[in-house]
C-alpha cells in the first residue's frame, strides 16, 4: 500500500504481561515494523514484513534496537532544575528546594522556557507518552499544553491545586481551583494528543473542600484523568493521619472524596497496607512506581510483589525532580536494583523491565488500546536505540549471545545518548544525529 513505511531493525516488545505469562517478550533479530497513517500494520521478521508490503518505503536501521515508545506515568514539569538535590527527605526537600522552584513558574517567560525544554527532553529520552504533574499557575500550565501540543507527544497533565500547608503563592481556594481547571479542561482536554488530569498535589496540601472541588471536576468532565501522590514517606503519612482523622488511611482520603476509579493514578504507594492494596485493585486505580525517587528521598522500597499479588495495576514513573533523570531505561534499572536488595522483592528480568517501561505504563494511564507495544492496529509509537561508537554498551551488545543479554545490557547501560529516533504515530518527534 502506498504511504507505508517499514523500519528494519532489531525489534523487541512485550505484547503480553510478563507478570502473568512466561512468553510475554517477542523479539526479531532481523525484524521490521510497518506502519501507514500512523498505525502499525505489521510487526515481525523482516523477510515476512517486506514481502507483505512490496511498495513500502524501507528504512534500514539494522544497527538499531527498536522498542515501543516509553511511558512515564509520573513526572513533574517544573522540577528539572532540582534533579540532584541531595540529602533531604520528602517534606524538607519540598520546603527547601522544590516548592521555591515551583514558585518561579509564576513568571511566564520562565514557564514557557521550562515547558519547551521539558517536552524536548522527554522525547530525547524516548518517552512518547506521559502523565505529567503540572504547575500551580494556570498560565504555566497553559504553556505546558502549548509546548506538548507542538511536541507531538501524548501528554496528560493538569493544574496542580492546593489550599494549605505549601507556600501562600502556591495556594488557591477550592472555587478558584475549580474555575481555573475548568478553563484549562475546556481549552485542552482532547485537543490532539492531549488529555487533562485533575491534580491535587497531595492530601497534605488539600482540604476536604479542595478534594470535593476535584470530584466536581471529574463529574463534570468524566473522561479526564485524576492523579496525585500517596503513601510516599513515613513523615508525610503521619501528617495526613493528623489532617484527616476520620479517614481509614491515606488511600481513604481520596476514596472518601470519590476520586478513585479506573482513570486515577496515584504515585508511590511505598507504604501500603494489604487492605489499601485490595481497595485500589477493586477501584481499578493504578499506581505510578517511582523507584529512583523513593531511594533518593529515603522514602522506602516499593512492595512490588504485594502489588502483583493483589492485582493492582502499576506502571513506572521517573518522578523528576526527586527522580534521578528522565530516562525510563535508567528507571527500570533502579527498579531492578531495589527489588534485588529488598527482602521478598519481586524478581525482575529484561521482559519485565521492558514491559514496565512501555506497556504497563500505557495501561496505567489508559492508553493500552493505542500504545505500549507493537501489535498491528496500535499507533506507531517507536524508539530506536543505538549505542554510541566505542561505548561500553556497544562492546556488550557485540558479544551478547541472546535477547535476554542484549536487553539486560540496554537497561543497564543505555541512556538518552542512545535514543537516536523517537516517533509518535509514525511522526518523528526526536532525532539524534551524532
Binding region for Zn ion (CB under 5 A): 267, 319
- The stretches of 157-260 forming alpha helices (DSSP H) are 174-188, 208-220, 234-243, 250-256
Are 335 and 306 within 8 A, CB to CB?
A: no
CB of 95 to Zn ion, least distance (A): 15
Instruction: Report, in Å, the least distance between residue 134 CB and Zn ion.
Output: 11
Cell readout for 47 is 523477510
Q: Residue 268's closest CA among 296, 297, 241, 232? A: 232
Cell of 68: 515501543
In the complex, least distance from residue 396 CB atom to Zn ion, rounded to whole angstroms: 33
Closest CB 183 distance from Zn ion, rounded Å: 24
Nearer Cβ to Zn ion (7/320): 320
* Smallest gap from residue 374 Cβ to Zn ion (A): 29
Q: Which residue is nearest to Zn ion (CB)?
A: 319
* 93: phi then psi, degrees, rounded to nearest 5: -60, -40
Nearer to Zn ion, 233 or 412 (CB): 233
Considering only CA atoms, which of 238, 291, 230 is closest in space to residue 266? 230
**And the C-alpha cell for 327?**
530516562
Looking at the Cβ atoms of 276 and 319, the one nearer to Zn ion is 319
Q: What is the rounded CA–CA span in Å between residue 256 and residue 337? A: 35
Number of H helices, E strands in the chain: 17, 16
**Minimal CA–CA distance to 366: which of 330, 315, 326?**
315
Which of 227/346 has CB closer to Zn ion? 227
Q: How far is the CB of 418 from Zn ion (least distance, A)?
A: 26
Output 53 or 76, the one with its CB closest to Zn ion. Answer: 76
Q: How far is CA 57 from CA 53, 82, 230, 385, 429, in A?
A: 9, 44, 48, 21, 19
Phi, psi of 126 (to 5 degrees): 85, 15
Cβ of 347: how many Cβ atoms within 10 Å? 10
Q: Least distance (Å) from Zn ion to the CB of residue 221?
A: 23
Q: Which is nearer to Zn ion, 118 or 403 (CB)?
A: 118
- From CA 349, how far away is CA 14, in angstroms rounded? 12
Closest CB to Zn ion among 171 and 319? 319
Of 68 and 361, nearer to Zn ion (C-beta) is 361
3-state DSSP assignment of residue 212: helix
Tell me how far, at minimum, the Cβ of 78 lies from Zn ion, in Å. 11
Residue 54: all three cell numbers together = 512490496
Amino acid at each position: 500500500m502506498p504511504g507505508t513505511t517499514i523500519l528494519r531493525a532489531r525489534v523487541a516488545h512485550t505484547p503480553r504481561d510478563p507478570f502473568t505469562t512466561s512468553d510475554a517478550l517477542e523479539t526479531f533479530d532481523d525484524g521490521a515494523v510497518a506502519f501507514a497513517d500512523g498505525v502499525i500494520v505489521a510487526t515481525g521478521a523482516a523477510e515476512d514484513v517486506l514481502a507483505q508490503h512490496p511498495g513500502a518505503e524501507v528504512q534500514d536501521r539494522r544497527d538499531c534496537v527498536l522498542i515501543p515508545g516509553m511511558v512515564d506515568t509520573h513526572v513533574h514539569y517544573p522540577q528539572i532544575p532540582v534533579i540532584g538535590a541531595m540529602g533531604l527527605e520528602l517534606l524538607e526537600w519540598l520546603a527547601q528546594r522544590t516548592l521555591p522552584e515551583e514558585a518561579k513558574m509564576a513568571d511566564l517567560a520562565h514557564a514557557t522556557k521550562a515547558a519547551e525544554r521539558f517536552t524536548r527532553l522527554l522525547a530525547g529520552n524516548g518517552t512518547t507518552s506521559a502523565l505529567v504533574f503540572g504547575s500551580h499557575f494556570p498560565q504555566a500550565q497553559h504553556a505546558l499544553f502549548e509546548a506538548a501540543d507542538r511536541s507531538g507527544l501524548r501528554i496528560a497533565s493538569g493544574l496542580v491545586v492546593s489550599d494549605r500547608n505549601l507556600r501562600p503563592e502556591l495556594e488557591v481556594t477550592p472555587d478558584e481551583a475549580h474555575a481555573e481547571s475548568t478553563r484549562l479542561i475546556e481549552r485542552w482536554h482532547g485537543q490532539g494528543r492531549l488529555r487533562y488530569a485533575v491534580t491535587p498535589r497531595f492530601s497534605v496540601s488539600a482540604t476536604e473542600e479542595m478534594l470535593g472541588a476535584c470530584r466536581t471536576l471529574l463529574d463534570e468532565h468524566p473522561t479526564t484523568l485524576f492523579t496525585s501522590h500517596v503513601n510516599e514517606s513515613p513523615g508525610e503519612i503521619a501528617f495526613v493521619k493528623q489532617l484527616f482523622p476520620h479517614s481509614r488511611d491515606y488511600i481513604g482520603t481520596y476514596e472518601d472524596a470519590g476520586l478513585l476509579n479506573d482513570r486515577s493514578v496515584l504515585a508511590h504507594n511505598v507504604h501500603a497496607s494489604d487492605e489499601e492494596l485490595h481497595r485500589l485493585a477493586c477501584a481499578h486505580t493504578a499506581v505510578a512506581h517511582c523507584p529512583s525517587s523513593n531511594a533518593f528521598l529515603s522514602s522506602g522500597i516499593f512492595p512490588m510483589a504485594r502489588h502483583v499479588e493483589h492485582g493492582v495495576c502499576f506502571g513506572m514513573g521517573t518522578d523528576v525532580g526527586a527522580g534521578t533523570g528522565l530516562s525510563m531505561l535508567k528507571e527500570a534499572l533502579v527498579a531492578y536494583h531495589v527489588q534485588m536488595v529488598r527482602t521478598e522483592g519481586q524478581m525482575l528480568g529484561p521482559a519485565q523491565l521492558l514491559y514496565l517501561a512501555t506497556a504497563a505504563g500505557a495501561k496505567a494511564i489508559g492508553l493500552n488500546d493505542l500504545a505500549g507495544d507493537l501489535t498491528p492496529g496500535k499507533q506507531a509509537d517507536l524508539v530506536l536505540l543505538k549505542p554510541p561508537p566505542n561505548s561500553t554498551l556497544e562492546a556488550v551488545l557485540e558479544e551478547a549471545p541472546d535477547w535476554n543479554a542484549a536487553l539486560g545490557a540496554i537497561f543497564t547501560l543505555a541512556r538518552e545518548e542512545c535514543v537516536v529516533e523517537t516517533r509518535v504515530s509514525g511522526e518523528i518527534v526526536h532525532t539524534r544525529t551524532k
